[in-house]
């Protein structure tokens, strides 16, 4: 509690460096009564404490006075504690922030890429919650749930009209417990009992391109990413693949331990991977590769990075480039080389707090080169191109009939293809006008200013064709360049 008071006291102490009278004379921004009262209180107390410290004969302790003020305010209004901590962290860099307990739990799930649930992706529908994807490793798949099922009941509670967040919280629970669902499959109502269990979100994908070039995509560096990378590299070794494209574009970062372990799959044992620099140099450290090999592996590697590659993905690209184990193709990266740690706050009695994620250090490239505020400069700078979408491969749309739920036709297939290209349709493109097609139709109608009723009439189909002519697509010139470079080596 004392530590929190000091943090908030420091925040209050830095609010203004002018007298209260001058501050309010210059204030021109329109504020609410509550905001005005808050500014008056903070600045007025600041002025009083400064005046006391100036005139008091026996030496005033300004910090003690700030603490006394905070003691009084918090004892009278303890509900302000979390808001005060948030206000303090708002004065720091954008990566330092306070999390409530609920926000902290959600953040940890996101970082670990593991949650306890049944393994489905859902979307709100008119008659319940539609299932868009069923994870083959999840318990819902084992229980027989299918894409297109519409959940309408959870543990005996009708959930029609509830949003996806509320239904997700009802479906999730402790590992090993069961949830009872009722779903609509077409016109049939089906009861499913599904066990909840931890489910990892896959962060690594790969393909093998022509010329025996391996392509690996890393979406972020989670704890599960290490095992996934080991499996991919083992597969590549089995197939004799030594030319690789590793894609960390749009990768926001993740865990330091994850990227260190993955770098150790490429960097010989004992080589410095990064240096960590704290305010107090006594705590500075180096991370070295823990690989089992001591010689550079015989691999040709190109890393794809862009302006959205940040933090751990920049460390990965920067380290591999710095040690001359890979070339980087793409654009300048984001430039986040700061490291955050949780402070492990103690909660006062009866007031459960979350925690503060605080920027405490910077990490660098192996040679000490900065990443924070600088980013990684690619060896070959390439931008992707935006070009008109080529609709020639889409199923022709005859616009010869109206379509609604239950209809099957080639034109429905053509409609679903176009809705998918435009980002409205997340379901299975199969020529069946189901509730997902209806929902996508409604969203499209609303977006283009048509009457919203979920029927694909002639006017809506014409509008759909018109929007396709305006659609654009991204040409991946960065991948093309990396692939071309590897084939030449």
423-446, pLDDT tens digit by residue?
A: 998 777 999 998 889 889 999 999
CA 486 to chain centre: 31
List the beta bridge partners of residue 181.
Answer: 154, 192
List the beta bridge partners of residue 122.
Answer: 131
Query: What is the rounded CA–CA span in Å between residue 415 and residue 419?
Result: 6
Confidence at residue 38, expressed as pLDDT on a 0 to 100 scale: 54
List the beta bridge partners of residue 380.
Answer: 329
pLDDT at residue 12 above 60? no
Q: What does the pLDDT average to over 419-426?
A: 90
Identify the CA nearest to 277 among candidates 359, 220, 221, 375. 359
At residue 213, φ and ψ (nearest 5 deg) are -100, 125
Query: What is the rounded CA–CA span in Å between residue 204 and residue 441?
Result: 33
Q: What does the pLDDT average to over 313-339?
A: 97
Confidence at residue 40, expressed as pLDDT on a 0 to 100 scale: 62
Three-class SS of residue 433?
coil
Query: What is the rounded CA–CA span in Å between residue 455 and residue 429?
Result: 17
Query: What is the rounded CA–CA span in Å between residue 200 and residue 114?
Result: 4
Q: Which two tokens stand for residue 87?
A: 């206000």
pLDDT at residue 94 above 80? yes
Over the chain, what is the mean pLDDT?
A: 88
Cβ atoms of residues 298 and 321 within 8 Å: no
Find all residues with CB under 8 Å of 160, minimum gap 6, and list them. Answer: 127, 128, 152
Question: Sorting pLDDT into bands at 50, 70 and 90, what band is 73?
Answer: confident
Confidence at residue 280, expressed as pLDDT on a 0 to 100 scale: 92
pLDDT per position as a tens digit, 84-93: 889 899 999 9
Question: Sorting pLDDT into bands at 50, 70 and 90, what band is 136?
Answer: confident
For residue 243, the tally of other CB atoms under 10 A from its CB is 20
Domain annotation for the chain: domains and CATH numbers = 2-91 (no CATH), 114-200 (2.30.42.10), 204-381 (3.90.226.10), 391-470 (1.10.101.10)
Find all residues with CB under 8 Å of 468, minimum gap 6, and list them. Answer: 389, 391, 394, 418, 421, 422
Question: Sorting pLDDT into bands at 50, 70 and 90, what band is 486?
Answer: very high
Identify the CA nearest to 138 among candidates 185, 65, 59, 196. 196
Long-range contacts of 277-280 (CB under 8 A, 24+ apart): 277/361, 277/362, 277/363, 277/364, 278/360, 278/361, 279/360
Confidence at residue 364, expressed as pLDDT on a 0 to 100 scale: 97
Q: What does the pLDDT average to over 122-126?
A: 81
Question: Sorting pLDDT into bands at 50, 70 and 90, what band is 485?
Answer: very high
How much of the chain, in percent, has pLDDT values that exceed 70? 90
pLDDT per position as a tens digit, 243-279: 999 999 999 998 999 999 999 999 999 999 999 999 9
Identify the CA nearest to 139 among candidates 178, 104, 103, 113. 178
Confidence at residue 239, expressed as pLDDT on a 0 to 100 scale: 96
Q: What does the pLDDT average to over 291-309?
A: 95
Q: Which two tokens stand for residue 398?
A: 């005859």
């Amino acid at each position: 509690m004392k530590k929190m008071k000091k943090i908030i006291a420091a925040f209050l102490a830095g609010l203004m460096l002018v007298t209260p009278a001058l501050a309010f004379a210059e204030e021109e921004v329109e504020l609410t009564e509550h905001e005005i009262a808050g500014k008056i209180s903070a600045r007025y107390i600041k002025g009083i404490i400064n005046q006391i410290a100036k005139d008091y004969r026996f030496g005033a302790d300004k910090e003690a006075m700030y603490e006394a003020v905070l003691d009084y305010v918090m004892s009278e209004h303890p509900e302000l504690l979390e808001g005060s901590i948030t206000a303090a962290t708002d004065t720091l860099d954008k990566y330092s922030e306070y999390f409530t307990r609920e926000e902290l739990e959600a953040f940890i799930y996101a970082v670990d890429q593991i949650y306890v649930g049944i393994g489905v992706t859902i979307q709100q529908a008119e008659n319940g919650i539609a299932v868009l994807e069923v994870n083959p490793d999840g318990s819902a798949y084992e229980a027989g749930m299918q894409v297109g099922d519409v959940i309408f009941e959870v543990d005996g509670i009708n959930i029609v009209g509830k949003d996806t967040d509320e239904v997700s919280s009802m479906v999730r629970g402790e590992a090993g417990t069961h949830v009872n669902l009722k779903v609509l499959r077409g016109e049939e109502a089906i009861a499913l009992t599904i066990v909840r269990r931890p489910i990892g979100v896959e962060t690594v994908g790969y393909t093998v391109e022509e010329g025996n070039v391996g392509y690996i995509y890393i979406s972020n560096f989670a704890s599960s990413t290490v095992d996934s990378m080991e499996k991919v590299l083992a597969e590549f070794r089995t197939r004799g693949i030594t030319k690789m494209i590793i894609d960390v574009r749009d990768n926001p970062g993740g865990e330091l331990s994850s990227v260190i372990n993955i770098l150790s799959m490429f960097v010989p044992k004992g080589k410095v991977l990064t240096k960590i620099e704290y305010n107090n140099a006594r705590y500075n450290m180096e991370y070295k590769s823990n690989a089992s090999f001591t010689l550079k592996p015989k691999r040709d590697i190109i890393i794809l990075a862009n302006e959205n590659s940040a933090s751990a993905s920049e460390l990965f690209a920067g380290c591999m480039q710095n040690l001359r184990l890979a070339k980087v193709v793409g654009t300048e990266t984001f430039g986040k080389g700061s490291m955050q740690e949780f402070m492990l706050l103690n909660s006062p009695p009866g007031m459960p707090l979350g925690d503060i994620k605080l920027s405490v250090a910077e990490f660098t490239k192996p040679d000490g080169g900065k990443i924070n505020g600088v980013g990684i400069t690619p060896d070959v700078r390439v931008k992707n191109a935006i070009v008109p979408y080529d609709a020639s491969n889409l199923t022709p749309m005859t616009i010869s009939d109206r379509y609604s739920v239950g209809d099957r036709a080639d034109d429905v297939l053509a409609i679903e293809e176009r809705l998918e290209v435009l980002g409205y349709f997340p379901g299975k493109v199969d020529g069946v006008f189901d509730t997902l097609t209806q929902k996508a139709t409604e969203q499209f109608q609303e977006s283009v200013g048509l009457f919203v009723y979920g029927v694909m009439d002639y006017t809506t189909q014409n509008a759909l064709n018109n929007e396709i002519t305006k659609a654009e697509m991204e040409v991946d010139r960065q991948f093309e360049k990396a692939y071309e470079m590897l084939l030449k080596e």
